Structure 1
């Protein structure tokens, strides 16, 4: 199993996405199932309560038995990837990866897995200069488009304003929205966006991304912290403040998870130090319920 830093060292998003998903897709939920579809699959005996319109009357006349025609039904989804590219995603972990580096790898791997399942994949990169949006498609050229958009994304500024985000929530297209974000916000703007996306599109899977060094607070001695979005600084002794920091952070994480679930989001926390397969499995688990 390749670590995130090994995947990042490939400097090749298509290859990294494929390597991250290797071995994961075996036994994954198939994109087609039997039911009332278009492509004929097989017959099965009639059971009380079945739709009589699916009875094969010609076969019944020949055999004096009642059979239903079953077909393969496409169960593909529209998967909408939303990547937070605000300045806080430039935070760098001890393994050398920024949150944006990890987010790029994760979105690329999610797009690869979704496309292998026959899903149409969309991508939105959020930054204050405007939305970078690729609408959902399932054609062969979509993955290269997504990889290029991810590879060239840069984190900067604060979260986009409501007017910039309006086109996203105006589209009422059923989809599974997957948001990758560290959830650093000023006044609940990310929560509001995801609430509107859930109302407009359906299910939301929130992948809350943290750096391992901020979760474990691995800093030592006198440290100056800078807010990457506002430029404000804070000086403290990391050894003295570690316990208080971790208590405060754990309370914030509990509150964040509770609010997300209250809004009906599927919430999953991960760090930049863990393999991508954990989040990919969560996506496949959520997809199997769709």
Structure 2
């Protein structure tokens, strides 16, 4: 599917250096916004509380046939007719990789949007970095940082991004290993087959991915009519439509089919797929991400967030 851009797109969006400077100018304010969202939405959430091998008691739960008898809490079980297991809280840090698409199409912002797709993607990813860092988890950005654990993790990642003159359009994901998670924020407007091919290494390595599609409302609804010139921000190619409204139905069908195919593919793999519109709140995506990251995957493991 071609990327949609309007004729008034910023000059130099195809220049990696110009995009790097723009990103550097945005990062400080986006970090402040990310922290505000975390403070507002995530107050009181304890992401690291999950079943594991730690020393701290977490909860009693019913015994399941096949579990080790040594895990049964006989004192608690003696209180009624049920058998209970004493769960302890997991203490090992988990690694969550974070990535926001830096491609030119992410600079798009229609008149109906409050922010560009790039700004929204960075805010969501930096907010996740802040949340995970507070929870003591290891975070990383492919091609920018190795996994690390620090209370100021979001600030460290923001600094790396602000000083990176250019970022690869699609980083190498082969170093990400089993039992890690990755949050990927993008518009996912490339052909579905190319996106699947890029992400297939994650599925083969047993990595659980959480895709966040950043969508501008105009890209989804195609509100254009009359003579309209469209510019592809990736290639610079132009298309002039004499009656743009005639393209609407076919375009919307292709757009929704792409999303449905990606979402169905993610569901089969046990991954999550979230859509966040740039005329809506970033916190909406953050809440859904939190739920996806703390849910048990196909292997039964529970991820920290």
Unaligned runs of 5+ in 2: 1-24, 74-84, 296-301
1:188 aligns with 2:205: no
What is the aligned partner in structure 1 of residue 101 from structure 2? 84
What is the aligned partner in structure 1 of residue 250 from structure 2? 244
Using a 3 Å threshold, how does the CA distance of structure 1 residues 33 and 182 change in structure 2: closer, same or farther? closer
Using a 3 Å threshold, how does the CA distance of structure 1 residues 153 and 272 change in structure 2: closer, same or farther? farther
What is the aligned partner in structure 2 of residue 19 from structure 1? 36
Match of residue 280, structure 1, among 274, 286, 298: 286
Q: State the distance in 2 between where 1:201 and 1:255 align.
A: 21
What is the aligned partner in structure 2 of residue 149 from structure 1? 160
Alpha-carbon distance, 1:33 to partner:
4.5
17-26 or 250-259: bigger deviation? 250-259
Alpha-carbon distance, 1:76 to partner:
4.3
- How many pairs were matched up? 257
CA contact (8 A) 1:111 1:143 kept: yes
Q: State the distance in 2 between where 1:70 and 1:248 align.
A: 48
Q: How does 1:101-120 map to 2 (within 5 A)?
A: 101-120=119-138
For normalisation by structure 2, the TM-score amounts to: 0.70
What is the aligned partner in structure 2 of residue 135 from structure 1? 146
| Greater relative CO, 1 or 2 (CA 8 Å, sep 6+) | 2
Q: Secondary structure at the match of 1:190?
A: helix
Q: How does 1:26-175 map to 2 (within 5 A)?
A: 26-33=43-50, 36-37=53-54, 39=55, 41=57, 51-52=69-70, 71-74=88-91, 76-94=93-111, 95=113, 97-124=115-142, 132-151=143-162, 159-160=169-170, 165=172, 168-175=173-180
Q: Which has the larger radius of gyration?
A: 1
Using a 3 Å threshold, how does the CA distance of structure 1 residues 282 and 77 change in structure 2: closer, same or farther? farther
CA contact (8 A) 1:85 1:154 kept: no
Alpha-carbon distance, 1:189 to partner:
2.9
Q: State the distance in 2 between where 1:229 and 1:211 align.
A: 16
For normalisation by structure 1, the TM-score amounts to: 0.74
Alpha-carbon distance, 1:81 to partner:
0.8
Q: State the distance in 1 between where 2:266 and 2:57 align.
A: 41
Match of residue 228, structure 1, among 230, 233, 257: 233
Q: State the distance in 2 between where 1:205 and 1:85 align.
A: 17
Match of residue 265, structure 2, among 259, 268, 271: 259
What is the aligned partner in structure 2 of residue 60 from structure 1? none
Alpha-carbon distance, 1:29 to partner:
4.3
Q: Secondary structure at the match of 1:28?
A: coil
Q: Secondary structure at the match of 1:140?
A: coil
Using a 3 Å threshold, how does the CA distance of structure 1 residues 205 and 28 change in structure 2: closer, same or farther? same
Q: Secondary structure at the match of 1:278?
A: helix
Q: State the distance in 1 between where 2:28 and 2:104 align.
A: 22
Q: State the distance in 2 between where 1:87 and 1:238 align.
A: 23
Q: State the distance in 2 between where 1:193 and 1:249 align.
A: 20
- What is the aligned-residue RMSD (CA, Å)? 3.5
CA contact (8 A) 2:177 2:207 kept: no
Q: Secondary structure at the match of 1:170?
A: coil
